[in-house]
A and B are shown apart, each in its own frame.
Chain A
Amino acid sequence: GENVEQHPSTLSVQEGDSAVIKCTYSDSASNYFPWYKQELGKRPQLIIDIRSNVGEKKDQRIAVTLNKTAKHFSLHITETQPEDSAVYFCAASSRRDDKIIFGKGTRLHILP
C-alpha cells in the first residue's frame, strides 16, 4: 500500500522568511496530493492540493510542486506570518484503492 514520508518533523523559520516541507510517496499510481493545516485542538483543513497532471500550483503565499519521476512533492510558504504556525500534513491518494494516506506531519514555528 501507499507510504508517505514527511520531513522535517519540526521547522522553525523567522517571520517573513520562506518555509519548505517535503514529502515522498511510494505508490506510482498515486495521483492526488493534498496538504492540510491543523491548528492546536482543531480539525485538519485543506490549504492546497495538486493532481498528477500538473507540476506546480500556487495560491497566494502557498505553492506546491510535484515531481512524479522522483515521487516527491513539496509545500512552499513564502513571507511567513505568525498565523502560519501550525502542524502541516501532506497526503497522497492512489486510484489503485482510493485511500488517502497521511504523512506524520511537520510542526512549523514562526519566530518573531
Chain B
Amino acid sequence: NAGVTQTPKFRILKIGQSMTLQCAQDMNHNYMYWYRQDPGMGLKLIYYSVGAGITDKGEVPNGYNVSRSTTEDFPLRLELAAPSQTSVYFCASSYLGQYQETQYFGPGTRLLVL
C-alpha cells in the first residue's frame, strides 16, 4: 500500500492564482481530511469527508473548496490564492466503523503565496 499520497510537494503561487492540491489513499478509508499547519503552529481542520459525495466544513474552510467523487481521492481547491494561505497542507484518512481507527497523514504540500 502507498498509504496517503499528496501532490505536489511544493508550489509557489502568485496572489489571485488558483490551484488544486491532490490527495489519494489506497486503504479503503471512508474518512478523509484536509489540515493546514502554519509555521510553528498546530493543525487546523479545513474540510473533511465521511464518504464519496459527502463533505463538510472544518475549522477554517474559507477560501477553499473540496470534492469527493470517489473513495480514494479528495482534492482541495484554492481559488484566488492569498498570502494568508501560505502554509503546509496535510491530507489524512481514517476508517470509522463502530470506533474511530488510526488516522494516517500524507507527506504534505508546502504552499507559498507571493
The interface of chain A, by Cβ under 8 A from chain B, is 1, 6, 31-32, 34, 43-46, 49, 51, 89, 93, 97-105
Chain B residue contacts of A104, Cβ below 8 A: 41-42
Partner of B50, one of A49, A89, A93, A98: A98
Q: How far is the CA of A68 from the CA of B94 in the complex (A)?
A: 24
Assess the A103–B56 pair: CB atoms within 8 A.
Answer: no
- Asked whether, in the complex, the Cβ of A34 is within 8 Å of the Cβ of B103, the reply is yes
B74 at the interface (CB under 8 A from A): no
Asked if B45 and A99 sit within 8 Å, CB to CB, the answer is: yes
**Once the chains are docked, how many angstroms separate the CA of A51 from the CA of B100?**
9
- A-facing residues in B15-39 (Cβ within 8 Å): 31, 33, 35
Q: Which one of B41, B45, B104, B108 contacts A105 once the chains associate, using CB atoms below 8 Å?
A: B41
Q: Is B58 an interface residue (CB 8 A)?
A: yes
Note all chain A residues with C-beta closer than 8 A to B42.
6, 89, 102-105
B interface residue numbers (CB < 8 A to A) = 31, 33, 35, 41-45, 48, 50, 56, 58-59, 90, 92, 94, 96, 99-100, 102-108
| A34-B35 Cα distance, complex, nearest whole Å | 16
Tell me, in angstroms, the Cα distance from A12 to B59 when the chains sit together: 30
List 4 tightest A-B contacts by C-beta distance, closest first.
A104-B42, A32-B100, A43-B105, A102-B43
B contact patch SS: strand
Residues of A contacting B58 in the complex (Cβ-Cβ under 8 angstroms): 99
Q: Is the CB of A32 within 8 A of B59?
A: no
Cβ contacts under 8 Å, A101 to chain B: 45, 59
Least CB distance, B74 to chain A, in whole angstroms: 15
Contact B102 A34 (CB under 8 A): yes
| Contact B102–A100 (Cβ < 8 Å) | no
- By a CB distance below 8 angstroms, the chain A residues around B50 are 98
Shortest CB–CB separation between residue A44 and chain B, in angstroms? 5
**Could you tell me the distance in whole angstroms from the C-beta of B111 to the nearest C-beta in chain A?**
15
